[in-house]
Amino acid sequence: MKRISLILALMFLSGCVTYSLVKPGTVKVGDAYRAQPRMEWSRLDRGKSEAWTIDGNNLHAVEFIKGIEDGDVIFQPVAGKSADNLPKYRKGMNPLEIQDLITNSVKANGGLKLEVEELRPVKLSGIDAFRSEFAYTLKDGLIRKAIAVSAVKNEKLYVLLYYAVKQHYFGKYKDDVERLFESIEIL
């Protein structure tokens, strides 16, 4: 009986994810970014990306996509899906193609009724970049809004993505996220 309890406990713990605290100040995000958050966040490192949240990923998060190389996907596939079917980054993509890559990746991972609201040039870490805003729905029926800022440096694609439930959460953190994005340095 003890052996079964131990096995069940290990199985449970292996499925747990570990968040760490991000405090205000200068923070490295892997080897890809340096950021200066003004508030505390919870951080989840996913390898090629890192998610920061305050109220939970289902309500809102900032995703730092850490330098995607030619032929790589932006997001890991959701459970039960293959990465073979996800759109892939190709060096030399123009801003509209990168926006399509991001939105098609969201669609491939369950985004429904996706509508792009804006695409405009911006600077990210002193590099020419593009910012897009879009809205989409997941199968839970809640509308989410997102801001994506993307830039290419040394033929790698860097994407900052803020997504949140449109009602309440998007507006609640939008100004803080905008300031966070302005503080980003690509390393």
Contact (CB, 8 A) for 39 and 173: no
Report the pLDDT value the prediction gives residue 164, as an integer from 0 to 100: 97
Domain ranges, residue 166: 18-186
- Looking at the domain assignment, is residue 27 inside a domain? yes
Q: Between residues 6 and 100, which one has the greater pLDDT? A: 100
Does the pLDDT of residue 11 top 80, yes or no? no
Indicate which CATH number applies to the domain containing 78: 3.40.1000.10
Phi and psi angles of residue 89, each rounded to the nearest 5 degrees, phi first: -75, 135
Report the pLDDT value the prediction gives residue 17, as an integer from 0 to 100: 66
- Looking at the domain assignment, is residue 1 inside a domain? no
pLDDT in tens, 102-152: 999 999 888 899 999 999 999 999 999 999 999 999 988 999 999 999 999
- Looking at the domain assignment, is residue 88 inside a domain? yes
- Looking at the domain assignment, is residue 13 inside a domain? no
Contact (CB, 8 A) for 39 and 179: no
- Looking at the domain assignment, is residue 2 inside a domain? no
- Looking at the domain assignment, is residue 60 inside a domain? yes
Global pTM value: 0.88
pLDDT in tens, 16-68: 568 999 999 999 999 999 999 999 999 999 889 999 999 999 999 999 999 99
Query: Into how many domains does the chain fold?
Result: 1
Phi and psi angles of residue 85, each rounded to the nearest 5 degrees, phi first: -95, 0
- Looking at the domain assignment, is residue 150 inside a domain? yes
Report the pLDDT value the prediction gives residue 82, as an integer from 0 to 100: 72
Q: Which of 76, 26, 72 is nearest to 51 (CA)?
A: 76
CA 145 to chain centre: 13
- Looking at the domain assignment, is residue 10 inside a domain? no
Q: Which of 88, 96, 29, 87 is nearest to 63 (CA)?
A: 29
Q: What is the DSSP letter of 83?
A: G
